[in-house]
Structure 1
Amino acid sequence: MNISLFLQMAADACPDRPAVTHNGNNYTYGQLFNAAKHAAQIFEKTGCQYVSLLDESSPAVPIALMGAAMAGIPYVPLNYRLSKEQLLPLFERISPAYLITGKRDDNYDFEDWIVEESNDFLHKCLKAEHSDYFKDVDPNEVAVQLFTSGTTGTPKAALLRHEHLVSYILGSVEFMGAMEEEAALVSVPPYHIAGISAVMSNIYACRQVVQLPNFNASEWLKLCQDHSVTSAFLVPTMLTRIIEELNENQTLESLQSIAYGGGKM
Protein backbone atom coordinates (compact mmCIF):
# COMPACT_ATOMS: atom_id res chain seq x y z
CA MET A 1 0.00 0.00 0.00
CA ASN A 2 1.00 3.58 -0.67
CA ILE A 3 0.32 6.57 1.62
CA SER A 4 -1.33 8.36 -1.32
CA LEU A 5 -4.18 5.87 -0.88
CA PHE A 6 -5.32 7.98 2.09
CA LEU A 7 -6.01 10.96 -0.17
CA GLN A 8 -7.59 8.82 -2.87
CA MET A 9 -10.01 7.29 -0.36
CA ALA A 10 -10.89 10.71 1.08
CA ALA A 11 -11.46 12.17 -2.38
CA ASP A 12 -13.66 9.22 -3.39
CA ALA A 13 -15.71 9.38 -0.17
CA CYS A 14 -16.12 13.14 0.23
CA PRO A 15 -14.68 15.08 -2.73
CA ASP A 16 -16.41 18.33 -1.82
CA ARG A 17 -15.48 18.36 1.86
CA PRO A 18 -12.95 21.07 2.86
CA ALA A 19 -9.53 19.48 3.30
CA VAL A 20 -7.24 22.46 3.89
CA THR A 21 -7.86 26.06 4.90
CA HIS A 22 -4.96 28.45 4.35
CA ASN A 23 -4.99 32.24 4.45
CA GLY A 24 -8.77 32.25 4.24
CA ASN A 25 -8.93 29.93 1.21
CA ASN A 26 -10.52 26.48 1.29
CA TYR A 27 -9.38 23.51 -0.78
CA THR A 28 -11.47 20.35 -1.05
CA TYR A 29 -10.32 16.75 -1.01
CA GLY A 30 -11.23 16.44 -4.66
CA GLN A 31 -9.04 19.43 -5.52
CA LEU A 32 -6.11 18.12 -3.50
CA PHE A 33 -6.31 14.68 -5.08
CA ASN A 34 -6.31 15.98 -8.64
CA ALA A 35 -3.52 18.46 -7.79
CA ALA A 36 -1.43 15.66 -6.28
CA LYS A 37 -1.88 13.50 -9.39
CA HIS A 38 -0.71 16.40 -11.54
CA ALA A 39 2.27 16.93 -9.23
CA ALA A 40 3.17 13.23 -9.56
CA GLN A 41 3.21 13.55 -13.34
CA ILE A 42 5.48 16.60 -13.11
CA PHE A 43 7.89 14.88 -10.71
CA GLU A 44 8.09 11.75 -12.85
CA LYS A 45 8.74 13.69 -16.08
CA THR A 46 11.67 15.60 -14.57
CA GLY A 47 13.48 12.41 -13.57
CA CYS A 48 14.18 13.75 -10.08
CA GLN A 49 15.19 11.27 -7.40
CA TYR A 50 13.78 13.31 -4.51
CA VAL A 51 11.00 15.83 -3.95
CA SER A 52 12.04 18.40 -1.36
CA LEU A 53 10.07 21.19 0.31
CA LEU A 54 11.79 24.17 1.91
CA ASP A 55 8.97 26.37 3.12
CA GLU A 56 6.30 26.99 5.73
CA SER A 57 3.01 25.10 5.81
CA SER A 58 0.68 25.66 2.87
CA PRO A 59 -1.52 23.48 0.65
CA ALA A 60 1.69 22.75 -1.28
CA VAL A 61 2.70 20.46 1.60
CA PRO A 62 0.01 17.75 1.22
CA ILE A 63 0.14 18.09 -2.58
CA ALA A 64 3.91 17.58 -2.67
CA LEU A 65 3.82 14.75 -0.12
CA MET A 66 1.04 12.84 -1.84
CA GLY A 67 2.29 13.63 -5.34
CA ALA A 68 5.73 12.29 -4.50
CA ALA A 69 4.14 9.17 -3.00
CA MET A 70 2.10 8.56 -6.16
CA ALA A 71 5.25 8.84 -8.27
CA GLY A 72 7.25 6.58 -5.94
CA ILE A 73 9.76 9.33 -5.11
CA PRO A 74 10.96 10.07 -1.55
CA TYR A 75 9.59 13.30 -0.06
CA VAL A 76 12.17 15.31 1.90
CA PRO A 77 10.93 18.34 3.87
CA LEU A 78 13.79 20.58 5.01
CA ASN A 79 14.04 23.08 7.84
CA TYR A 80 13.43 26.48 6.24
CA ARG A 81 15.06 28.16 9.24
CA LEU A 82 18.49 26.79 8.29
CA SER A 83 21.05 28.99 6.56
CA LYS A 84 22.35 28.24 3.08
CA GLU A 85 25.60 26.99 4.62
CA GLN A 86 23.64 24.51 6.73
CA LEU A 87 21.43 23.44 3.84
CA LEU A 88 24.11 22.79 1.22
CA PRO A 89 25.38 19.52 2.82
CA LEU A 90 21.78 18.28 2.94
CA PHE A 91 21.20 19.21 -0.69
CA GLU A 92 24.22 17.11 -1.65
CA ARG A 93 22.54 14.08 -0.10
CA ILE A 94 19.28 14.43 -2.07
CA SER A 95 20.53 15.28 -5.54
CA PRO A 96 18.98 15.60 -8.06
CA ALA A 97 15.78 16.94 -6.53
CA TYR A 98 12.65 18.85 -7.37
CA LEU A 99 12.83 21.66 -4.80
CA ILE A 100 9.68 23.53 -3.80
CA THR A 101 10.67 26.61 -1.86
CA GLY A 102 9.36 29.82 -0.41
CA LYS A 103 10.83 33.18 -1.33
CA ARG A 104 14.39 33.32 0.00
CA ASP A 105 17.35 35.65 -0.37
CA ASP A 106 19.73 32.81 -1.16
CA ASN A 107 19.76 31.33 -4.65
CA TYR A 108 19.78 27.63 -5.47
CA ASP A 109 20.95 26.79 -8.97
CA PHE A 110 22.13 23.19 -9.10
CA GLU A 111 22.72 21.03 -12.14
CA ASP A 112 19.82 18.66 -12.89
CA TRP A 113 17.64 20.30 -10.22
CA ILE A 114 14.22 21.87 -10.68
CA VAL A 115 13.62 24.78 -8.28
CA GLU A 116 10.13 26.25 -8.09
CA GLU A 117 8.44 28.69 -5.72
CA SER A 118 5.66 27.19 -3.64
CA ASN A 119 2.99 29.59 -4.92
CA ASP A 120 3.83 28.78 -8.55
CA PHE A 121 3.81 25.04 -7.82
CA LEU A 122 0.50 25.31 -5.99
CA HIS A 123 -1.17 27.40 -8.70
CA LYS A 124 0.01 25.06 -11.46
CA CYS A 125 -1.21 21.91 -9.71
CA LEU A 126 -4.58 23.31 -8.63
CA LYS A 127 -5.36 24.63 -12.12
CA ALA A 128 -4.55 21.31 -13.82
CA GLU A 129 -7.20 19.38 -15.72
CA HIS A 130 -8.52 16.07 -14.44
CA SER A 131 -5.89 13.33 -14.46
CA ASP A 132 -6.10 9.53 -14.26
CA TYR A 133 -2.45 9.18 -13.28
CA PHE A 134 -1.55 5.93 -11.52
CA LYS A 135 1.71 4.17 -10.80
CA ASP A 136 2.23 0.94 -8.90
CA VAL A 137 4.64 1.72 -6.05
CA ASP A 138 6.44 -0.89 -3.95
CA PRO A 139 5.27 -0.46 -0.31
CA ASN A 140 8.85 -1.08 0.79
CA GLU A 141 9.98 2.11 -0.97
CA VAL A 142 10.88 5.18 1.10
CA ALA A 143 7.93 7.57 1.37
CA VAL A 144 9.50 10.27 3.56
CA GLN A 145 13.09 11.10 4.44
CA LEU A 146 13.51 13.30 7.50
CA PHE A 147 16.80 14.81 8.61
CA THR A 148 17.57 15.17 12.30
CA SER A 149 18.47 18.60 13.65
CA GLY A 150 22.19 17.84 13.66
CA THR A 151 22.77 19.56 17.00
CA THR A 152 25.15 16.79 18.11
CA GLY A 153 26.83 16.13 14.76
CA THR A 154 26.06 15.50 11.12
CA PRO A 155 22.27 15.30 10.56
CA LYS A 156 21.05 11.73 10.22
CA ALA A 157 18.37 10.68 7.76
CA ALA A 158 15.32 8.81 9.07
CA LEU A 159 13.81 6.72 6.27
CA LEU A 160 10.06 6.21 6.62
CA ARG A 161 8.68 3.59 4.26
CA HIS A 162 5.16 3.41 2.85
CA GLU A 163 4.34 0.10 4.52
CA HIS A 164 5.28 1.39 7.97
CA LEU A 165 3.47 4.72 7.64
CA VAL A 166 0.37 3.02 6.27
CA SER A 167 0.42 0.50 9.12
CA TYR A 168 0.72 3.32 11.67
CA ILE A 169 -2.22 5.30 10.27
CA LEU A 170 -4.48 2.28 9.76
CA GLY A 171 -3.79 1.19 13.33
CA SER A 172 -4.49 4.55 14.93
CA VAL A 173 -7.03 6.44 12.78
CA GLU A 174 -10.54 5.50 11.70
CA PHE A 175 -11.26 6.17 8.04
CA MET A 176 -13.69 9.07 7.67
CA GLY A 177 -13.86 9.16 11.45
CA ALA A 178 -14.21 12.95 11.54
CA MET A 179 -17.57 14.67 11.36
CA GLU A 180 -17.91 17.24 8.59
CA GLU A 181 -17.85 20.13 11.06
CA GLU A 182 -14.58 19.03 12.68
CA ALA A 183 -11.43 21.07 12.06
CA ALA A 184 -7.85 20.60 13.26
CA LEU A 185 -5.56 23.59 13.72
CA VAL A 186 -2.02 22.63 12.67
CA SER A 187 0.86 24.95 13.56
CA VAL A 188 3.78 22.51 13.67
CA PRO A 189 6.35 22.96 10.85
CA PRO A 190 6.16 20.62 7.84
CA TYR A 191 9.71 19.31 8.37
CA HIS A 192 8.75 17.83 11.76
CA ILE A 193 7.44 14.27 12.10
CA ALA A 194 4.34 15.70 13.80
CA GLY A 195 3.69 17.75 10.68
CA ILE A 196 3.93 14.67 8.46
CA SER A 197 1.69 12.69 10.79
CA ALA A 198 -0.88 15.51 10.88
CA VAL A 199 -1.18 15.52 7.09
CA MET A 200 -1.72 11.77 6.82
CA SER A 201 -3.97 11.24 9.84
CA ASN A 202 -6.30 14.16 9.11
CA ILE A 203 -6.61 13.21 5.44
CA TYR A 204 -7.49 9.62 6.34
CA ALA A 205 -10.03 10.83 8.90
CA CYS A 206 -11.40 13.27 6.26
CA ARG A 207 -10.92 16.14 8.70
CA GLN A 208 -10.48 19.75 7.66
CA VAL A 209 -7.02 21.15 8.47
CA VAL A 210 -6.60 24.84 9.26
CA GLN A 211 -2.97 25.78 8.66
CA LEU A 212 -1.04 28.35 10.72
CA PRO A 213 2.34 28.70 8.96
CA ASN A 214 4.06 30.67 11.73
CA PHE A 215 2.94 30.15 15.29
CA ASN A 216 1.57 33.24 16.99
CA ALA A 217 -0.61 32.90 20.07
CA SER A 218 -2.96 35.72 19.10
CA GLU A 219 -3.39 34.42 15.55
CA TRP A 220 -3.83 30.87 16.87
CA LEU A 221 -6.72 32.00 19.07
CA LYS A 222 -8.28 33.96 16.20
CA LEU A 223 -8.16 31.00 13.82
CA CYS A 224 -9.51 28.73 16.53
CA GLN A 225 -12.57 30.96 16.93
CA ASP A 226 -13.06 31.88 13.26
CA HIS A 227 -13.03 28.26 12.07
CA SER A 228 -14.63 26.59 15.10
CA VAL A 229 -11.56 24.43 15.54
CA THR A 230 -12.21 21.18 17.40
CA SER A 231 -8.67 19.82 17.85
CA ALA A 232 -5.05 20.98 17.80
CA PHE A 233 -1.49 19.78 18.30
CA LEU A 234 0.89 21.92 20.34
CA VAL A 235 4.22 21.77 22.11
CA PRO A 236 4.22 22.92 25.76
CA THR A 237 5.83 26.30 25.01
CA MET A 238 3.07 27.06 22.50
CA LEU A 239 0.38 26.12 24.99
CA THR A 240 1.97 28.35 27.63
CA ARG A 241 1.93 31.34 25.27
CA ILE A 242 -1.70 30.68 24.34
CA ILE A 243 -2.76 30.59 27.99
CA GLU A 244 -0.90 33.85 28.61
CA GLU A 245 -2.62 35.44 25.61
CA LEU A 246 -6.10 34.16 26.44
CA ASN A 247 -8.42 36.70 28.06
CA GLU A 248 -11.84 36.47 29.63
CA ASN A 249 -13.56 37.71 26.47
CA GLN A 250 -12.25 34.83 24.39
CA THR A 251 -14.03 31.51 24.44
CA LEU A 252 -12.93 28.31 22.75
CA GLU A 253 -16.22 26.49 22.99
CA SER A 254 -15.62 24.38 19.88
CA LEU A 255 -12.21 23.08 21.00
CA GLN A 256 -12.57 19.50 22.22
CA SER A 257 -9.00 18.23 22.48
CA ILE A 258 -5.36 19.31 22.44
CA ALA A 259 -2.56 16.85 21.77
CA TYR A 260 0.93 17.86 22.76
CA GLY A 261 4.48 16.61 22.62
CA GLY A 262 8.09 17.74 22.72
CA GLY A 263 8.53 18.10 26.47
CA LYS A 264 6.94 18.07 29.90
CA MET A 265 3.95 20.24 30.66
Structure 2
Amino acid sequence: MSFQAMTWAVEQDLPALQKLVLLMLANCCNAHTGRCDPSHDTLAKECGMSRDSVRRAIAEIEKKGLIEIRRQTQNGVNLPNQYVLRVGSSVGGVGADSTEGYVHTAPTVGADSTGGGCSQQGGVGADSTTKQEVKPGSKPTRSCDSKFDEAWRQYPKREGSNSKQAAQRAWNARIREGIDPGVLVAAVVAYAAAMKAAGNIGTPYVKQASTFFGRDRHFEEFAKTRLADGDLFDGGTEVPWWKAAGFTYQWQATNAGCSERSAHLWANGVRQGAPA
Protein backbone atom coordinates (compact mmCIF):
# COMPACT_ATOMS: atom_id res chain seq x y z
CA MET A 1 0.00 0.00 0.00
CA SER A 2 1.18 3.55 -0.76
CA PHE A 3 0.24 6.12 1.89
CA GLN A 4 0.93 8.88 -0.62
CA ALA A 5 -1.52 7.28 -3.05
CA MET A 6 -4.12 6.82 -0.30
CA THR A 7 -3.83 10.46 0.78
CA TRP A 8 -4.12 11.59 -2.82
CA ALA A 9 -7.19 9.40 -3.41
CA VAL A 10 -8.94 10.76 -0.31
CA GLU A 11 -8.45 14.32 -1.56
CA GLN A 12 -10.17 13.74 -4.90
CA ASP A 13 -13.60 15.29 -5.44
CA LEU A 14 -15.49 12.24 -6.70
CA PRO A 15 -18.91 10.63 -6.26
CA ALA A 16 -18.94 8.14 -3.40
CA LEU A 17 -18.69 4.95 -5.47
CA GLN A 18 -15.91 6.29 -7.68
CA LYS A 19 -13.94 7.48 -4.66
CA LEU A 20 -14.36 4.09 -2.99
CA VAL A 21 -12.99 2.29 -6.05
CA LEU A 22 -10.10 4.76 -6.30
CA LEU A 23 -9.32 4.20 -2.62
CA MET A 24 -9.26 0.44 -3.16
CA LEU A 25 -6.90 0.86 -6.10
CA ALA A 26 -4.69 3.10 -3.96
CA ASN A 27 -4.79 0.49 -1.21
CA CYS A 28 -3.43 -2.07 -3.69
CA CYS A 29 -1.00 0.40 -5.23
CA ASN A 30 2.67 -0.50 -5.03
CA ALA A 31 4.62 2.34 -3.45
CA HIS A 32 7.55 1.82 -5.83
CA THR A 33 5.76 1.58 -9.17
CA GLY A 34 2.44 3.35 -8.67
CA ARG A 35 0.75 0.32 -10.23
CA CYS A 36 -1.71 -2.35 -9.24
CA ASP A 37 -3.75 -4.98 -11.01
CA PRO A 38 -6.60 -6.26 -8.82
CA SER A 39 -9.31 -8.09 -10.72
CA HIS A 40 -12.85 -6.75 -11.07
CA ASP A 41 -13.98 -9.57 -8.77
CA THR A 42 -11.52 -8.49 -6.08
CA LEU A 43 -12.55 -4.84 -6.32
CA ALA A 44 -16.23 -5.75 -6.29
CA LYS A 45 -15.76 -7.82 -3.13
CA GLU A 46 -13.68 -5.19 -1.33
CA CYS A 47 -16.01 -2.33 -2.30
CA GLY A 48 -19.25 -4.23 -1.71
CA MET A 49 -20.32 -3.46 -5.27
CA SER A 50 -21.29 -5.40 -8.37
CA ARG A 51 -18.75 -6.04 -11.12
CA ASP A 52 -20.72 -3.75 -13.46
CA SER A 53 -20.63 -0.94 -10.91
CA VAL A 54 -16.88 -1.39 -10.55
CA ARG A 55 -16.40 -1.27 -14.32
CA ARG A 56 -18.46 1.91 -14.61
CA ALA A 57 -16.60 3.58 -11.76
CA ILE A 58 -13.21 2.69 -13.25
CA ALA A 59 -14.27 4.03 -16.65
CA GLU A 60 -15.30 7.34 -15.09
CA ILE A 61 -12.10 7.59 -13.06
CA GLU A 62 -10.09 6.98 -16.22
CA LYS A 63 -12.02 9.70 -18.08
CA LYS A 64 -11.13 12.14 -15.31
CA GLY A 65 -7.44 11.45 -15.82
CA LEU A 66 -6.79 9.96 -12.39
CA ILE A 67 -5.69 6.54 -13.62
CA GLU A 68 -4.28 4.97 -16.73
CA ILE A 69 -5.70 1.58 -17.69
CA ARG A 70 -3.33 -0.77 -19.46
CA ARG A 71 -5.55 -3.31 -21.10
CA GLN A 72 -3.90 -6.65 -21.74
CA THR A 73 -4.68 -9.61 -23.95
CA GLN A 74 -3.03 -12.91 -24.65
CA ASN A 75 -3.87 -15.05 -27.66
CA GLY A 76 -6.99 -12.98 -28.19
CA VAL A 77 -8.17 -13.46 -24.59
CA ASN A 78 -8.75 -10.43 -22.37
CA LEU A 79 -6.62 -10.46 -19.23
CA PRO A 80 -6.98 -8.45 -15.99
CA ASN A 81 -6.11 -4.80 -16.48
CA GLN A 82 -3.14 -3.07 -14.95
CA TYR A 83 -3.82 0.33 -13.40
CA VAL A 84 -1.35 3.19 -13.04
CA LEU A 85 -2.44 5.80 -10.51
CA ARG A 86 -1.66 9.34 -11.65
CA VAL A 87 -0.74 10.51 -8.16
CA GLY A 88 -0.45 14.30 -8.22
CA SER A 89 -3.21 14.80 -10.77
CA SER A 90 -6.66 16.03 -9.84
CA VAL A 91 -10.22 15.96 -11.13
CA GLY A 92 -10.60 18.59 -13.81
CA GLY A 93 -7.52 17.60 -15.77
CA VAL A 94 -5.19 20.43 -14.74
CA GLY A 95 -2.20 19.99 -16.97
CA ALA A 96 -3.84 17.25 -18.96
CA ASP A 97 -2.61 16.40 -22.42
CA SER A 98 -5.67 16.37 -24.64
CA THR A 99 -4.09 13.82 -26.93
CA GLU A 100 -3.69 11.23 -24.21
CA GLY A 101 -6.46 11.85 -21.68
CA TYR A 102 -4.40 11.65 -18.53
CA VAL A 103 -2.46 14.16 -16.52
CA HIS A 104 1.25 14.62 -17.14
CA THR A 105 2.73 15.43 -13.77
CA ALA A 106 5.79 14.31 -11.93
CA PRO A 107 6.43 10.58 -12.39
CA THR A 108 3.98 8.31 -10.64
CA VAL A 109 4.96 6.95 -7.25
CA GLY A 110 8.24 5.14 -7.77
CA ALA A 111 7.70 4.91 -11.52
CA ASP A 112 10.52 3.11 -13.25
CA SER A 113 12.32 4.20 -16.39
CA THR A 114 11.01 1.32 -18.45
CA GLY A 115 7.51 2.76 -18.73
CA GLY A 116 5.39 -0.36 -18.92
CA GLY A 117 7.80 -2.91 -17.51
CA CYS A 118 7.23 -4.77 -14.29
CA SER A 119 9.69 -3.92 -11.57
CA GLN A 120 10.85 -6.28 -8.89
CA GLN A 121 8.30 -4.82 -6.50
CA GLY A 122 5.34 -4.43 -8.81
CA GLY A 123 1.63 -4.10 -8.16
CA VAL A 124 -0.28 -6.17 -5.68
CA GLY A 125 -2.67 -8.78 -6.96
CA ALA A 126 -0.88 -9.85 -10.12
CA ASP A 127 -1.25 -13.49 -11.00
CA SER A 128 -0.51 -16.05 -13.63
CA THR A 129 -3.25 -14.77 -15.89
CA THR A 130 -1.84 -11.27 -16.29
CA LYS A 131 0.49 -10.61 -19.16
CA GLN A 132 3.24 -8.92 -17.21
CA GLU A 133 6.49 -9.12 -19.09
CA VAL A 134 9.64 -8.89 -17.02
CA LYS A 135 11.66 -6.47 -19.11
CA PRO A 136 15.42 -5.82 -19.05
CA GLY A 137 16.36 -3.39 -16.31
CA SER A 138 13.34 -4.24 -14.18
CA LYS A 139 13.76 -7.95 -13.57
CA PRO A 140 13.69 -9.52 -10.12
CA THR A 141 17.10 -10.17 -8.62
CA ARG A 142 19.25 -13.03 -9.83
CA SER A 143 18.90 -14.75 -6.48
CA CYS A 144 15.11 -14.65 -6.93
CA ASP A 145 15.48 -16.10 -10.42
CA SER A 146 17.70 -18.87 -9.11
CA LYS A 147 15.08 -19.69 -6.48
CA PHE A 148 12.45 -19.94 -9.19
CA ASP A 149 14.70 -22.25 -11.20
CA GLU A 150 15.10 -24.41 -8.11
CA ALA A 151 11.34 -24.48 -7.57
CA TRP A 152 10.78 -25.35 -11.22
CA ARG A 153 13.17 -28.30 -10.97
CA GLN A 154 11.37 -29.54 -7.86
CA TYR A 155 7.87 -29.03 -9.24
CA PRO A 156 6.02 -32.34 -9.83
CA LYS A 157 5.54 -33.37 -13.45
CA ARG A 158 2.01 -33.35 -14.78
CA GLU A 159 0.08 -34.58 -17.77
CA GLY A 160 -0.81 -31.67 -20.03
CA SER A 161 0.55 -28.17 -20.38
CA ASN A 162 2.55 -26.42 -17.69
CA SER A 163 3.93 -23.11 -18.94
CA LYS A 164 7.19 -22.10 -17.30
CA GLN A 165 6.73 -18.52 -18.49
CA ALA A 166 3.27 -18.25 -16.94
CA ALA A 167 4.56 -19.85 -13.75
CA GLN A 168 7.36 -17.30 -13.47
CA ARG A 169 4.93 -14.42 -13.98
CA ALA A 170 2.83 -15.73 -11.11
CA TRP A 171 5.97 -16.34 -9.03
CA ASN A 172 7.19 -12.77 -9.64
CA ALA A 173 3.78 -11.42 -8.64
CA ARG A 174 3.96 -13.21 -5.31
CA ILE A 175 7.53 -12.00 -4.73
CA ARG A 176 6.37 -8.43 -5.34
CA GLU A 177 3.71 -8.99 -2.70
CA GLY A 178 6.46 -9.80 -0.21
CA ILE A 179 6.38 -13.61 -0.21
CA ASP A 180 9.78 -15.09 0.65
CA PRO A 181 11.14 -17.08 -2.34
CA GLY A 182 12.40 -19.70 0.10
CA VAL A 183 8.87 -20.26 1.36
CA LEU A 184 7.66 -20.82 -2.20
CA VAL A 185 10.43 -23.33 -2.84
CA ALA A 186 9.56 -25.14 0.38
CA ALA A 187 5.89 -25.19 -0.60
CA VAL A 188 6.82 -26.79 -3.93
CA VAL A 189 8.85 -29.47 -2.15
CA ALA A 190 5.92 -30.22 0.16
CA TYR A 191 3.46 -30.24 -2.74
CA ALA A 192 5.67 -32.63 -4.72
CA ALA A 193 5.78 -34.92 -1.69
CA ALA A 194 2.00 -34.78 -1.38
CA MET A 195 1.48 -35.60 -5.06
CA LYS A 196 3.95 -38.46 -4.82
CA ALA A 197 2.19 -39.84 -1.75
CA ALA A 198 -1.13 -39.65 -3.58
CA GLY A 199 0.28 -41.30 -6.70
CA ASN A 200 -0.57 -38.25 -8.79
CA ILE A 201 2.82 -37.52 -10.37
CA GLY A 202 2.46 -37.36 -14.14
CA THR A 203 -1.34 -36.96 -14.04
CA PRO A 204 -3.68 -34.01 -14.67
CA TYR A 205 -4.34 -33.90 -10.92
CA VAL A 206 -1.08 -31.99 -10.48
CA LYS A 207 -1.90 -28.28 -10.65
CA GLN A 208 -0.27 -26.12 -13.28
CA ALA A 209 2.59 -24.23 -11.65
CA SER A 210 1.02 -20.91 -12.63
CA THR A 211 -2.09 -21.92 -10.68
CA PHE A 212 -0.03 -23.12 -7.71
CA PHE A 213 1.73 -19.73 -7.49
CA GLY A 214 -1.37 -17.77 -8.61
CA ARG A 215 -3.59 -15.25 -6.88
CA ASP A 216 -5.55 -18.00 -5.08
CA ARG A 217 -2.31 -18.90 -3.26
CA HIS A 218 -2.62 -22.67 -3.38
CA PHE A 219 0.99 -22.80 -2.20
CA GLU A 220 -0.06 -21.55 1.24
CA GLU A 221 -1.66 -24.91 1.97
CA PHE A 222 1.79 -26.47 1.78
CA ALA A 223 3.95 -23.62 3.05
CA LYS A 224 4.96 -23.10 6.64
CA THR A 225 6.43 -20.01 8.19
CA ARG A 226 10.21 -19.91 7.87
CA LEU A 227 11.78 -20.54 11.26
CA ALA A 228 14.21 -18.11 12.84
CA ASP A 229 17.07 -20.60 12.55
CA GLY A 230 16.60 -20.76 8.80
CA ASP A 231 14.86 -24.13 8.58
CA LEU A 232 11.96 -24.05 6.16
CA PHE A 233 9.93 -26.66 7.95
CA ASP A 234 9.54 -27.59 11.57
CA GLY A 235 8.90 -31.25 10.95
CA GLY A 236 10.27 -31.97 7.51
CA THR A 237 8.15 -32.18 4.38
CA GLU A 238 5.69 -34.83 5.55
CA VAL A 239 2.14 -33.95 4.55
CA PRO A 240 -0.92 -35.22 6.50
CA TRP A 241 -2.59 -38.11 4.70
CA TRP A 242 -5.89 -36.22 4.29
CA LYS A 243 -4.14 -33.31 2.56
CA ALA A 244 -2.26 -35.70 0.29
CA ALA A 245 -5.66 -37.14 -0.65
CA GLY A 246 -6.95 -33.67 -1.53
CA PHE A 247 -8.89 -32.71 1.61
CA THR A 248 -8.38 -29.58 3.67
CA TYR A 249 -9.46 -31.12 6.97
CA GLN A 250 -9.28 -34.64 8.37
CA TRP A 251 -13.01 -34.69 9.13
CA GLN A 252 -13.76 -34.02 5.46
CA ALA A 253 -11.73 -37.06 4.48
CA THR A 254 -13.40 -39.21 7.12
CA ASN A 255 -16.88 -38.13 6.03
CA ALA A 256 -16.01 -38.99 2.44
CA GLY A 257 -14.91 -42.48 3.43
CA CYS A 258 -11.20 -41.83 3.05
CA SER A 259 -8.84 -43.17 5.68
CA GLU A 260 -5.10 -43.07 6.21
CA ARG A 261 -4.91 -46.62 4.91
CA SER A 262 -6.78 -45.82 1.69
CA ALA A 263 -5.54 -42.25 1.17
CA HIS A 264 -3.26 -43.34 -1.67
CA LEU A 265 -6.38 -44.20 -3.69
CA TRP A 266 -7.67 -40.62 -3.50
CA ALA A 267 -6.78 -37.45 -5.40
CA ASN A 268 -8.30 -33.98 -5.11
CA GLY A 269 -10.89 -35.39 -2.72
CA VAL A 270 -12.11 -38.02 -5.20
CA ARG A 271 -11.53 -41.76 -4.96
CA GLN A 272 -9.60 -42.92 -8.01
CA GLY A 273 -10.11 -46.66 -7.57
CA ALA A 274 -7.69 -49.44 -6.77
CA PRO A 275 -4.40 -49.46 -8.73
CA ALA A 276 -4.26 -51.74 -11.75
Normalised-by-shorter TM-score class: under 0.3
Q: Which has the larger radius of gyration?
A: 2
Greater relative CO, 1 or 2 (CA 8 Å, sep 6+)? 1
Q: TM-score, normalised by structure 1?
A: 0.23
Which protein has the bigger strand share? 1
